[in-house]
Amino acid sequence: MGDPRLNVSLKQLLNSKKVVPYVLLLPFFAFFLVFRLWPILWSFFISFTEYFGSGIKFIGFDNYVQLFNDRVFWIATKNTVYFVVVYNAIMISLALMVAVFLSSRLVRIRDFFRSVYFVPMAMMLPVVAITFDMIFARNIGLISAVYGLFGKEFSTRWFSDPDLAMWAIIIMRVWRAMGYYCAYFLAGLASIPQEIYESSQIDGAGRFRTFFRITLPLLKPMLLFVVIMSTILSFEIFDEPWILTQGGPANSTLTLQIYLYQTSFLNGELGKGSAIAYMMTLFMIVFSVLYVNQLSEKNPRRKRAKQQG
Amino acid sequence: MAIQRSDRWIRVALLVFLSILAVLVLIPFYWMFVNSLKAQGDFYSATSTLFPANPTLANYKELLTDTHYGLWIGNSFLISLLVVLIGLFICAASGFAFAAYDFKFRSLIFWTVLGTVAIPDIVTIIPVFNIMVKLGLIDSYASLVLPFAVSMFGIFLVKQFVETSFPMELLESARIDGLSEYGIFFRVVLPLIRPGLAVLGIFLWMSSWSSYFWPLIMIRSEVKMTLPLGLATLYANPWDLKYGVLMAGNVLATVPIILLYLLAQRQFIEGLTGGAVKG
């Protein structure tokens, strides 16, 4: 019938400060439920099932037990951990060192170098992979060309050698990410007030002393952030090893994400794939906790508290 | 006096090191560019050369006529644009809602969302793939836009931005002026958070543009491929890999981003580091 009082109320309701936030959040919430929350729960559930796309069979922990006994899974884990640890150690040390050099009062064209070092981020990972393939390649590569200048022949088969393939990937990742994390460290270093350096200089501390006793501890929060972020991101490495070697040669570049892809999307084993995904999540959480513990153990206040308690 | 002299040596050493590093950083770009100008015959010789013997643009021509490269760029462009537009709108609306209003389930919703941030995306791939299959959206633009239209991180960014740099008195005076809450959002808030949105926009754009894994899973036909996927497909050709054409493809994929970087460096760096590094 159209009671005018009711109509006015609906409009007022939708505009009231109590309801507006829910309306504004509605699209987000719809997406969140469909693409985040439900998938997280559903994939946890099917990790306990045998599921090939049609017909679900509940099998309890069988997938996880299977993974535990799966030699290839542990190879993938070993490769991924090896990559994450080695790559991050090299890359973060380099980024930190370069940031410190750039922040030194002796270097004035800091912004120029920072801009240059950041440029590799403009290259997408597949492009990086393909370009570096052409750098490492035997007949058509850059290294080969340089060797040719000296009349020598370049015969290292970077991507056919199980011991070298992962290193090629580490090198290209370090190349790409160094400038990126260097920018983080530069921001962190810039937030340290100049007075601290001046007073330490008055106290007669040399450059190395100043760095290790003053700069590094003050930089710890940023360092922790970078280490954790880079570790978690690099754990999911897929593009380069898949495009270049498909996890080979001899599974030497097989990462956990590649193994998940092969299991779920090439072999159709969706249940087992979900189990792999959750194992990866577990590893990543363990890693992060380890790092946080390691880096905060060096906090003297905590040590003293431990000694007393 | 002694201090000054050793200082000068250190400065020289530092500059040399940093310069060599800069050259090393730029070499792959040079190599990519130079190889795009080499004729196919150059790649059949036993040794490699640092410069092309007879530089040619033939590879670029072949790239655009003999492959679906044009389609791939178009697809990437359209998909990234949709992700940015939808993403910005949803992140702005949601971030604003969290920041400016106090409502009953605010904490609950916020902390639930925050809780799931710790869980990586890999866990959601299989179910989302299932959804796309069931909806018949495999091999469609929707499959690459919908899952990425919402960025938790983007919502936090907007929320931070509004909480720290938005004057709440403005909201009050707008209300007094008779604007509805939605009117306030569209006419007052959105224009003022534009710099934050520009940064978020770059972040969303780059994530979508360079995405390889999700398109690999969702896209089946070559004409629907995005740029990274297309390039990888060109590369995976086992029979007659045209390196020059491939490198031309790489160059064309990278140049626009470098241009973006040069034109909007501060926003680019801020966007990629999630606002952590300001210009």
User: Does the CB of A241 have a partner CB in chain B at under 8 Å?
Assistant: no
Q: Are residues A133 and A173 in the same domain?
A: yes
Residues of A within 8 A of B182 (CB-CB) are 15, 20
* Portion 187-246 of B in contact with A at CB < 8 A: 209-210, 212-213, 216-217, 227-229, 231-232, 235-236, 243, 246
- pLDDT of residue B17 exceeding 70: yes
Residue with tokens 């050793």: B6
Q: Are residues A139 and A17 in the same domain?
A: no
pLDDT of residue A215: 85
Q: Are residues A77 and A37 in the same domain?
A: no
Task: Print pLDDT tens along chain A (309 aa).
Answer: 555 665 567 777 777 777 888 888 999 999 999 999 999 999 999 999 999 878 888 998 999 999 999 999 999 999 999 999 999 999 999 999 999 989 877 666 888 999 999 999 999 999 999 999 999 988 888 988 888 888 888 888 899 999 899 999 999 999 999 999 999 999 998 888 877 777 777 777 777 777 787 888 888 889 999 999 999 999 999 999 999 999 889 999 999 999 999 999 999 999 999 999 999 999 999 988 888 787 766 554 444 444 443
Are B14 and A118 inside 8 Å of each other by CB? no
CA distances from B33 to A10, A176, A206, A259, B51 (A): 62, 17, 45, 34, 10
Q: Are residues A36 and A95 in the same domain?
A: no
* Portion 189-218 of A in contact with B at CB < 8 A: none
Q: Is B192 exposed, middle or buried (0-12, 13-18, 19+ CB in 10 A)?
A: middle
- Total count of domains within chain A: 2
Q: What is the distance between the alpha carbons of residues A177 and A165, in angstroms, rounded to a whole number?
A: 19
Q: Are residues A135 and A88 in the same domain?
A: yes
Q: Are residues A154 and A20 in the same domain?
A: no
Give the mutation candidate from B117, B122, B124, B217 for the A interface (greatest A CB count, under 10 A). B122
Residues of A within 8 A of B121 (CB-CB) are 236
A211 assigned to some structural domain: yes
A14 assigned to some structural domain: yes
User: Does the CB of A11 have a partner CB in chain B at under 8 Å?
Assistant: no
Residues of A within 8 A of B133 (CB-CB) are 53
A52 assigned to some structural domain: no
Residue with tokens 């994390």: A181
Q: Are residues A88 and A184 in the same domain?
A: yes
Q: What is the identity of the amino acid at B125?
A: I
Contact between B189 and B96 (Cβ < 8 Å):
yes
User: Does the CB of A270 have a partner CB in chain B at under 8 Å?
Assistant: yes
A58 assigned to some structural domain: no
Max alpha carbon distance in chain B (Å)? 78
Q: Is A249 helix (H, G, I), strand (E, B) or coil?
A: coil
| Residues sharing a CB contact under 8 Å with residue A61, sequence separation 6 or more, in sequence order | A48
Q: What is the distance between the alpha carbons of residues B126 and B129, in angstroms, rounded to a whole number?
A: 5
Contact between A238 and A261 (Cβ < 8 Å):
yes
- pLDDT of residue B49 exceeding 90: no
* Portion 167-186 of A in contact with B at CB < 8 A: 175, 178-180, 183-184, 186
Please provide residue A163's backbone torsions phi and psi, each rounded to the nearest 5 degrees: -80, -20
pLDDT of residue A217: 86
Q: What is the distance between the alpha carbons of residues B226 and B207, in angstroms, rounded to a whole number?
A: 13
Are B11 and A106 inside 8 Å of each other by CB? yes
Q: Are residues A274 and A149 in the same domain?
A: yes
Q: Are residues A36 and A164 in the same domain?
A: no
User: Does the CB of A57 have a partner CB in chain B at under 8 Å?
Assistant: no
Give me the mean pLDDT over the B253-276 stretch. 89
A309 assigned to some structural domain: no
pLDDT of residue A107: 63
Q: What is the distance between the alpha carbons of residues B2 and B95, in angstroms, rounded to a whole number?
A: 58
Q: What is the identity of the amino acid at B111?
A: W
Q: Is B227 helix (H, G, I), strand (E, B) or coil?
A: helix
We report the CATH number of the domain holding residue A213 as: 1.10.3720.10
Give me the mean pLDDT over the B63-84 stretch. 94
| Residues sharing a CB contact under 8 Å with residue A68, sequence separation 6 or more, in sequence order | none
Contact between B226 and B219 (Cβ < 8 Å):
yes
Q: Are residues A14 and A163 in the same domain?
A: no
Question: For residue A259, what are its two tokens?
Answer: 């193994």
User: Does the CB of B266 have a partner CB in chain A at under 8 Å?
Assistant: no
pLDDT of residue B35: 92
Going from the N-terminus, what domains does chain B have, and what CATH number goes with each?
Answer: 67-236 (1.10.3720.10)
Q: Are residues A121 and A212 in the same domain?
A: yes
Question: For residue B114, what are its two tokens?
Answer: 């925050």
Rounded to the nearest 10 degrees, the angle between the axes of helix B122-134 and helix A38-46 is: 100
Question: For residue B81, what are its two tokens?
Answer: 């644009």
Residues of B within 8 A of A175 (CB-CB) are 24-25, 28
- Run of H or E including A50: strand A49-51
Q: What is the identity of the amino acid at B35?
A: N
Per residue in B154-180, pLDDT tens? 888 888 888 887 777 877 888 788 778
- Give the count of Cβ contacts less than 8 A between chain A and B: 256
Q: Are residues A158 and A21 in the same domain?
A: no
Q: What is the distance between the alpha carbons of residues B63 and B268, in angstroms, rounded to a whole number?
A: 29
Per residue in B200-259, pLDDT tens? 999 999 999 999 999 999 999 999 999 999 999 999 987 778 889 999 999 999 999 999
User: Could you tell me the residue range of the domain that residue A28 belongs to?
Assistant: 4-46
Please provide residue B96's backbone torsions phi and psi, each rounded to the nearest 5 degrees: -65, -40
Of B47, B94, B116, the CB nearest to A24: B94
Residues of A within 8 A of B47 (CB-CB) are 139, 144-145, 148, 153
Are B97 and A149 inside 8 Å of each other by CB? no
The pTM score is 0.89
